[in-house]
Structure 1
């Protein structure tokens, strides 16, 4: 071992002298203290026993200096270089603070620092770099604009503390440290700005976390624009629904009575949602018209609307008509198979009229479509996926059928999500004059005629009992338009049965008969009079009595003038 002199012992950095075999020939006091070993423990030892990761033998052999960095502070940053022509090598260890100061002040490090700062400030986004314990090392210059804090209020602070103080609602650094994985999250600053943050972990060679880099994009304006755009979309959607509502009323639908206004208000609220609708009402009230209106007001209006009358299809053919079949399933069937009505309505609506006529075995299959949005065609083993909205209708009492066991209870509740009941014409007589006008205009245009209907006929229609509801009224007007030769349709042109039934009710109830004739007398007198006072004088009763009777019989005196 080479002897030390007073100068070598006082050196402020460590020196190890090693030969080409790796044997330690010399060490000074600094290195001994650093290794926490005595000179005797080091003397003539192999370098691999003292510093296992040293590359000094390779350095001596190849003649190229090297810097070896180890994971712990004791052996960090060893400078190893060969001594030419001697087959020896020297390992030097500087104090950590000395080497760090030297590196920071070096031109290369200075240039690197400038480049990093330029990159951080170039993007316009907020960039922060933190230690693995959350201590903030660097932050880009736009910190104050985005976060509302100056750089010095950030650098040197803990990200955890900033989170605790409410500078941010949630620390992305904390998430990266916890998960050791890249993350993306939304962050809200204390000033209310919204940030989209990407956090990235930086690892050491041994896999431990070294740094966390966060890149935050200010999306406040984007978020505000999205909200405003959504508001505009909602407004447009509302006005479109209202426009559709007006257009439908003006074109196809006559809604004047309060009962029908309630029905169509509900229709406009639910039309654009995909919930199943169950329409109830007597025969002829307009269930199909209502179903088509729902389709036209919905987002599926450009997709198919398929109507199926469940009572018009033979039971033996029902399953193949509804769900189709694969080729070769039936003798005499289509060679290519059949896709069925459910598939035909894909992306659109399937209106099942008279749903109470559906047999039990098909009820189970329909329930599968409603629950799972798929079914298996006849002769096939592969389920078919469909996207269909169902509207069903019936004039039968399904609840009674459930109690009798002829209709599945689980299917009933699947269909009965949004029930809509269309009142019979007897409960909305205010609609009759407007329905008459609508149908007269429709058939005049269809048959190129110019017929009109006398107001006495309209009044008689209001008094008539329309057992077939709107359909019966519509058919009656079409028949009159086609068969009456005169331009104006009068009472004398009506069928005798209709006139006879209207003149006197077929009832033995004396009160009903008296009310009927009282109303008829008042109506006739109203037609012949110009004022209510004149009516009261002709009938010999008080004016208040006439007013009460007019209200009782729902007579519109103003329209009769």
Structure 2
């Protein structure tokens, strides 16, 4: 019998009717890390005093005189176990010994936590924040010296868990830069949680960021909820519009950065946390600090490394390459084959782009799906593009008719494999078409 017990997969612990340890098997030693020599012969209360257990199921069974199961953390590794104590009665009905089986459920609990995390991740897409484990399909496209310097610095800092502050106007590409920081770090296979601090109502923001324990407040889930910061454990968090974070939450966030721990709303214990914080803002945080709406100590915690992303108007060298990139991207995405005329491209390159890269991207997508012709001409641009001081206004009827005629000819040339066939399709003389093509610098083999 002792050999059978010894080879049991579950840990077995046998104690006398007095509560003194009689025997433990090898599985128990493996689960807890305690050696039988440390336990055999000692009373359970002695072992509790020495810190071997926080509670003894054996003593509970001796008191209740019935089978009892408890959940506890035990051993040097603080493993999660189910300990079930079974009383063994003699013929007189008295307890002669207590046999306790100990089953390691640490792995099961980890799987349960991962399942809970996955459930929470699946709900993120329904809210104002996003989640990814492999970053974004967006690429950092640039050729300006200012952006080259920023990318070079990102490559230097990405491998370290340092907090990064991204500043710059809306639409300049702060989120794309944050994606790059995450992708170049050793956390790239871990979660990347993006939170818009200005989009979540203030009364919900604390519970969303930090989570809550069951019964924390009226309306709380019975099982509690994992916060976004906890979900991002081992990964990266992007706190967008960080300047909108309420002062009360700034204090809690500062504590997380200082102590590397997080405590849920209504909770009593703190959990160790390993996250990298990337914050982004289009506001002047120093000015907010001066006004007293942003904590100075938090500002310096977040601004260990600051990257200032310039507006598109300050890096005009990037306009053409971004324009070409977005045209290629959306053409492939929507399976549309269209082109931008040289005059249109000239106007776009000289535009001031108040909405930055986001405005450029949205314009390209809009033109590709809404302009019916194969070539996008200046007349296809929104009015404010052609009404700029540096662009020539197409106000006269003659100019507009010429632009329309040019577009029709370009489309026809795309559809036919020779100038002669194109002229026949349009119902004009071959020489007339050739003259017009020469006038506008159009070549069949380049269209």
Q: TM-score, normalised to structure 2's length?
A: 0.56
Q: Could you tell me which residue of structure 2 aligns to residue 268 of structure 1?
A: 155
Q: Could you tell me which residue of structure 2 aligns to residue 442 of structure 1?
A: 329
Distance (whole Å) between structure 2 residues aligned to residue 371 and residue 429 of structure 1: 41
Q: Could you tell me which residue of structure 2 aligns to residue 351 of structure 1?
A: 238
Kindly tell me: are residues 460 and 284 of structure 1, through their superposed partners in 2, closer, same or farther at Cα, counting changes over 3 Å? same
1:98-134 superposed Cα distances (whole Å, 9 cap, x missing partner)? xxxxxxxxxxxxxxxxxxxxxxxxxxxxxxxxxxxxx
Shift of 1:380: 0.8
- 2:225 aligned counterpart, secondary structure: coil
Distance (whole Å) between structure 1 residues aligned to residue 246 and residue 353 of structure 2: 31
Q: Could you tell me which residue of structure 1 aligns to residue 271 of structure 2?
A: 384
Distance (whole Å) between structure 2 residues aligned to residue 417 and residue 401 of structure 1: 18
Q: Could you tell me which residue of structure 2 aligns to residue 325 of structure 1?
A: 212
* Counterpart contact for 2:312–2:357, Cα < 8 Å: yes
Alignment counterpart, residue 361 of structure 2, candidates 457, 462, 474: 474
Q: Could you tell me which residue of structure 2 aligns to residue 54 of structure 1?
A: none
Give the ranges of 4+ consecutive aligned residues of structure 1 lying more than 3 Å apart after TM superposition. Answer: 248-251, 502-505
Q: Which has the higher contact order (CA 8 A, sep 6+)?
A: 2
Alignment counterpart, residue 351 of structure 2, candidates 464, 470, 483: 464
Q: Could you tell me which residue of structure 1 aligns to residue 197 of structure 2?
A: 310
Unpaired stretches in structure 2, ≥5 consecutive residues: 1-134, 393-447
Distance (whole Å) between structure 2 residues aligned to residue 421 and residue 291 of structure 1: 12
1:18-167 → structure 2 map (5 Å cutoff)? none
Distance (whole Å) between structure 2 residues aligned to residue 310 and residue 443 of structure 1: 30
* Counterpart contact for 1:259–1:428, Cα < 8 Å: yes
Distance (whole Å) between structure 2 residues aligned to residue 318 and residue 257 of structure 1: 38
Alignment counterpart, residue 377 of structure 2, candidates 490, 510, 535: 490
Is 1:366 the counterpart of 2:256? The answer is: no
1:499-510 → structure 2 map (5 Å cutoff)? 499-503=386-390
Q: Could you tell me which residue of structure 2 aligns to residue 417 of structure 1?
A: 304
Shift of 1:503: 4.1
- After superposition, the CA RMSD in angstroms is 1.8
1:430-484 superposed Cα distances (whole Å, 9 cap, x missing partner)? 1011000110011111111111211221211111111110000110111001101
- 1:445 aligned counterpart, secondary structure: helix
Kindly tell me: are residues 367 and 250 of structure 1, through their superposed partners in 2, closer, same or farther at Cα, counting changes over 3 Å? closer
Shift of 1:504: 5.7
Kindly tell me: are residues 355 and 326 of structure 1, through their superposed partners in 2, closer, same or farther at Cα, counting changes over 3 Å? same
Is 1:289 the counterpart of 2:176? The answer is: yes
Shift of 1:250: 11
Alignment counterpart, residue 313 of structure 2, candidates 409, 426, 441: 426
Is 1:375 the counterpart of 2:262? The answer is: yes
Distance (whole Å) between structure 2 residues aligned to residue 502 and residue 341 of structure 1: 48
Distance (whole Å) between structure 2 residues aligned to residue 312 and residue 369 of structure 1: 22
- 1:308 aligned counterpart, secondary structure: strand
Distance (whole Å) between structure 1 residues aligned to residue 142 and residue 390 of structure 2: 28
* Counterpart contact for 2:138–2:176, Cα < 8 Å: no
Is 1:252 the counterpart of 2:139? The answer is: yes
Q: Could you tell me which residue of structure 1 aligns to residue 280 of structure 2?
A: 393
- 1:307 aligned counterpart, secondary structure: strand
Q: TM-score, normalised to structure 1's length?
A: 0.45
Q: Could you tell me which residue of structure 1 aligns to residue 34 of structure 2?
A: none
Kindly tell me: are residues 350 and 381 of structure 1, through their superposed partners in 2, closer, same or farther at Cα, counting changes over 3 Å? same
Distance (whole Å) between structure 2 residues aligned to residue 501 and residue 459 of structure 1: 13
Shift of 1:488: 1.4
Distance (whole Å) between structure 1 residues aligned to residue 154 and residue 342 of structure 2: 32
1:304-332 superposed Cα distances (whole Å, 9 cap, x missing partner)? 00000000010011100000000121222
- 1:426 aligned counterpart, secondary structure: helix
Kindly tell me: are residues 298 and 457 of structure 1, through their superposed partners in 2, closer, same or farther at Cα, counting changes over 3 Å? same
* Counterpart contact for 1:279–1:391, Cα < 8 Å: yes
Kindly tell me: are residues 408 and 250 of structure 1, through their superposed partners in 2, closer, same or farther at Cα, counting changes over 3 Å? closer
Q: Could you tell me which residue of structure 1 aligns to residue 223 of structure 2?
A: 336
* Counterpart contact for 1:460–1:502, Cα < 8 Å: no
Distance (whole Å) between structure 2 residues aligned to residue 308 and residue 302 of structure 1: 19
1:235-266 superposed Cα distances (whole Å, 9 cap, x missing partner)? xxxxxxxxxxxxx9997111100011011011
Distance (whole Å) between structure 2 residues aligned to residue 498 and residue 255 of structure 1: 23
Number of aligned residue pairs: 258
Unpaired stretches in structure 1, ≥5 consecutive residues: 1-247, 506-561
1:115-157 superposed Cα distances (whole Å, 9 cap, x missing partner)? xxxxxxxxxxxxxxxxxxxxxxxxxxxxxxxxxxxxxxxxxxx
Distance (whole Å) between structure 2 residues aligned to residue 251 and residue 479 of structure 1: 18
